[in-house]
Structure 1
Amino acid sequence: MSGETAEHRAKPDGKHGKFLVADMESSVTAVRIVAGFLGGTKTPVMSGVPSSKAAADVVSLMPQKLQKKAFEVAGRSAALRQNKVSEIDVDAIDQWVVDEYSAERTGRETYPAVMIGAVSGAAFFLAAALGIPFLPQTTLVAVKDADPAPDDPKHALQRWAPTAREIAENNPRISVYHMHDPAQDRPMMEKVAFFRLKRAGLGPVYQEFLRDRLAPGGHIITLENTRTWRVTQTGERSFFQLGCLGGLLEEEYFTGSQRLSDFLRTEGSAHRKWDAPAATGRLPDGEWGFDPALAEELDDVARHNGWQRRRLYQNEPQDASAFIAEFFRDWYRRLGWEDNRLLAQTYTMLDPEVTIATGSVPFWNRFHMRPSFKVLSEYLESTEEYAEILVSLFSNGVRSPGLVELSEWEELATRHASTRGGAIGMNPKTFPLDAGHPLRYRHALESVGSHRDLPESLTVADIDAFAHTYGIARDADSLPEHRDDVTGEGIRNPVSWVGG
């Protein structure tokens, strides 16, 4: 591999990396949950926040204003002071990631495969099924903001462009995205600015991890989400992104809509649309997109070391959820288990260990918004009927445009389940402002059915075989072209499993 050897460089400080990452976001949570699964430990969705139904119920009784404040506090608690920006070090963050998978924590010296790339349901559930680590391409750091302006993106860009440039200059192998989403992140943006660090290269820490922990002849699996988004370039490898995948269409962030106007009015904003900075191009989405430069390096690394390559190629992160659900269903049937309970889990409110131990089929929802609802609906219309369909949602502290009400999720589950359907773990009186939900969701998942010992991990060959049966196995030279759904046309891009 390229880069300095471990003997000739100082080892980055993983404890410092843990201090840097914003622990409530998708990629960081995936690392913690997968590492906990591999080590046989329960991992709360936020470190230091144990599961407690009783505590959750107390929190849910607080007045709505206090519950909204709880989301603001959660965002601020994960944020760095501005004078700490110079200490942001992607190698230290990578060291924290690999430390989570240490032999001391997981009891495993080597792995038959490693998963690297853009977070999605595969990062949680396929990694768990294979018994392998997930190494994220993108991680989030948050910085305290004393002058927030959620509905003035031009002000936010100007205020934070120097910070994005500084982070990029100090970390030459990443792109830095200043993420500004006043629709979905509104409560947490009250006093915080968000920066996503997207790796274009492996770096020394991930290189060393592969060299030391990936078994000879093992597989490197990349999770490749091709979704792009409009950005404004603010420096060399630094960008501003207004909005993200959620309830609003990409176009609405830039041109407005009636439902956006209604939302801003309800939130007490003086604005009725956002005056977006002029876009300079399209890049892989800051949170969900995959930078293909990393795949090119991994191809070279695999050839040099005799490892094999696989790719899960999709456009939006939920596109492969149906494939993963059917893969689990096939696994359970081969084990002689029942396969008639679907457990839909949303964003980071999930648990692979409980899912497998209860023989539940996972379906990952990106969010609790209309686009995710439609993808789940389409799956239920096309698959063999389930006896039970249970949906665990996510509270983000704001009634964002595109929100699907709890009653509609329950109706969907009830309509398609032959015996039992509904939403679990949510307070119906406060959703999506249910600040107690992170304390309650695991108890709800654990209660869906009886538990059994976990089966032996699956292999990459098992995915290869099922991908051929399912009809998504393809060669790298025959990948379909993907087209982003910017204006809500209902585009569905095909999913591909490459290399099997």
Structure 2
Amino acid sequence: MPPEEAVASFDSASAFFMALARAIEGRDFPYLGQSRWKALPVRASALLPRPLRCRAYAVASGREGVAVDRLGDIDLDEAASWVARTYPERRYPAVLIGSSNGALTHLAAACGVPWLPQTLLVPVRRRGADPADMPAALDFGARHGPSLLAHNPRVALHQMQDANQDALSGSQMAYFRVKWTSLPPAYQRFLDERLEPGAPVVVVRDMSTWPVTRVGDRHVFQVGAQGGMSAEEYHHAPGVPTPDGTAAEAEWGFADPLLDGLRKAAHRTGHPVVEVRYGHPQDPAAAVADVLRSWTRRRGGAAQRLLVSSFVVHDPWRTIATGSVPFWTFFPVQSAARDLSDYLVSTTYDDVDVLLFSHGVESRGLADARTWQRIAELARRRGRLLGVDPRAFPADFAVFARYTSALRSLPDAGLTWSPLAVADALAGLRGAEQLSVVGG
């Protein structure tokens, strides 16, 4: 099975590495990486009543799902090759490897360096499922997970079931997140052939963990996810299997077994290893914003526009081209809104533009559009929701097409392209709160 068909395109990892590859080539990331023609029905969805809109979103999500009888046809080593060859064929002054993180994707774009994800999402077709039925989800994974694992010995399966934030998509598919526990050959070749001499290998280590139920030697089941609810709140719901351990959080967390092989591969080829550690996906956002604001000013920009991205609704190249400062929010939830508000209380901008990801449900812990608008109004001149219909949020699915024209309407800053030095980027992170930069 071609990796483009086996791996979800709407996931954080896919959206981040595809957007980054385009940014390295000086191109924007329209329509979440989909074609313009596929974006037309997404934009037209705004005309539907909300129940039909949500149903269409759920069905469209489910269409990405892999049939269970095809799981044995998936070669995740080939998926790693697909990731590596997405980047322009050249040598790079560094590479990031590990956890998904939108803020660090912006930083990598400024440095002109790639990121190789540890985790990918294989969506598995499961139409008509009750996303809140955890025993049924666990049984589904126990029956079908072994087919995927048998042909992919280098990965562990972190099955995730979130009835709070993924209620629509979860009614149509199961989330099989896979994490490499040893270095895939394509990543090994990248380190051998695509780095400049002495270029650092930057390991992105999100230390997030989550309670899990062990299903097999390389398979755990996770109820809930980072977002608007705590792990404890998820596990108080009826019918939830009792967890018997903890593991790296399915979407964001770094699985430690990869680290030893990664260090050996880097040292064998003469590349120092630097670890960027943090405890939550939101943690790097403020530090990255400060580093990139200073970089933009050194290039002659005013750096007075803060562009707030939301989960996969982002565009690293348009952020750079417009001279904007990125502040990434991992999901439009109250904790992320508080972090943005705290940042704007301590750091002022003339303009604040806020993008919002829509997942279709009034999930617990969600920050509504009015909350985001009030935070944007902390700007000295103008704060606004950009490309967002606040009346439709969080079922504003047309935003996945509309954000492209909204970002393209921002004026180009006309700054000369000069990549941020990797050493300067790491130095900027070293003194930041909630981050630890080790090695190098």
Query: 1:181: Cα distance to partner?
Result: 0.5
Q: Give the distance between the partners of 2:261 and 2:387, measured in 1 at CA.
A: 42
TM-score (normalizing by structure 1):
0.84
Query: 1:121: Cα distance to partner?
Result: 2.0
- Matched residue, 1:436: 398
Q: Give the distance between the partners of 2:206 and 2:91, measured in 1 at CA.
A: 27
- Matched residue, 1:338: 302
Contact 2:156–2:218, Cα closer than 8 Å, also in 1 = yes
Q: Does 1:404 align with 2:367?
A: yes
Structural mapping, 1:48-127, within 5 Å: 48-50=34-36, 58-103=44-89, 109-127=90-108
- The one-letter code sitting in structure 1 at the alignment partner of 2:213 is T
Contact 1:164–1:238, Cα closer than 8 Å, also in 2 = yes
- Matched residue, 2:422: 460
1:324 to 288, 302, 307: 288
* TM-aligned CA distance change 1:41 to 1:387, over 3 Å: closer
Contact 2:8–2:122, Cα closer than 8 Å, also in 1 = yes
Q: Give the distance between the partners of 2:16 and 2:43, measured in 1 at CA.
A: 26
Q: Give the distance between the partners of 1:49 and 1:432, measured in 2 at CA.
A: 23
Query: 1:47: Cα distance to partner?
Result: 4.0
* TM-aligned CA distance change 1:448 to 1:142, over 3 Å: same
Contact 2:429–2:435, Cα closer than 8 Å, also in 1 = no
* TM-aligned CA distance change 1:295 to 1:122, over 3 Å: farther
Query: 1:335: Cα distance to partner?
Result: 1.7
- Matched residue, 1:10: none
What is the number of equivalent residue pairs in this alignment? Answer: 440
Q: Give the distance between the partners of 1:155 and 1:457, measured in 2 at CA.
A: 50
Q: Does 1:202 align with 2:183?
A: yes
Q: Give the distance between the partners of 2:405 and 2:84, measured in 1 at CA.
A: 29
Q: Does 1:163 align with 2:144?
A: yes
Local SS of the residue matching 2:30: coil
Local SS of the residue matching 1:386: coil
Q: Give the distance between the partners of 2:342 and 2:120, measured in 1 at CA.
A: 31
Contact 1:29–1:45, Cα closer than 8 Å, also in 2 = no
Q: Give the distance between the partners of 2:203 and 2:82, measured in 1 at CA.
A: 20
- The one-letter code sitting in structure 2 at the alignment partner of 1:33 is A
Q: Give the distance between the partners of 1:445 and 1:53, measured in 2 at CA.
A: 15
After superposition, what is the alpha-carbon deviation per residue over 1:364-388, rounded to whole angstroms, capped at 9, x for unaligned?
A: 00000111111111211222x1111
After superposition, what is the alpha-carbon deviation per residue over 1:77-100, rounded to whole angstroms, capped at 9, x for unaligned?
A: 211111101112210111110121
Q: Does 1:242 align with 2:228?
A: no
- Matched residue, 1:34: 20
After superposition, what is the alpha-carbon deviation per residue over 1:46-70, rounded to whole angstroms, capped at 9, x for unaligned?
A: 4434289986653212111221022
- Matched residue, 1:221: 202
The structure 1 segments of at least 4 consecutive aligned residues displaced by more than 6 Å after TM superposition are 51-55
* TM-aligned CA distance change 1:455 to 1:63, over 3 Å: same
TM-score (normalizing by structure 2):
0.95
- Matched residue, 2:270: 306
Query: 1:464: Cα distance to partner?
Result: 3.5
Query: 1:45: Cα distance to partner?
Result: 4.4
- The one-letter code sitting in structure 1 at the alignment partner of 2:371 is E
Q: Percent identity?
A: 35
- Matched residue, 1:494: 434
- Matched residue, 2:233: 252
- Of stretches 304-313 and 321-330 in structure 1, the one that deviates more from structure 2 is 304-313
Local SS of the residue matching 1:217: coil
* CA RMSD across the alignment: 1.9
Local SS of the residue matching 2:283: coil
- Of stretches 363-372 and 151-160 in structure 1, the one that deviates more from structure 2 is 151-160
1:364 to 318, 324, 328: 328
The runs of 5 or more residues in structure 2 that have no matched partner are none
Query: 1:293: Cα distance to partner?
Result: 2.2
Query: 1:447: Cα distance to partner?
Result: 2.2
Q: Give the distance between the partners of 1:174 and 1:101, measured in 2 at CA.
A: 23
Contact 2:156–2:219, Cα closer than 8 Å, also in 1 = yes
Contact 2:103–2:327, Cα closer than 8 Å, also in 1 = no
- Matched residue, 2:387: 425
Contact 1:173–1:200, Cα closer than 8 Å, also in 2 = yes
* TM-aligned CA distance change 1:117 to 1:426, over 3 Å: same
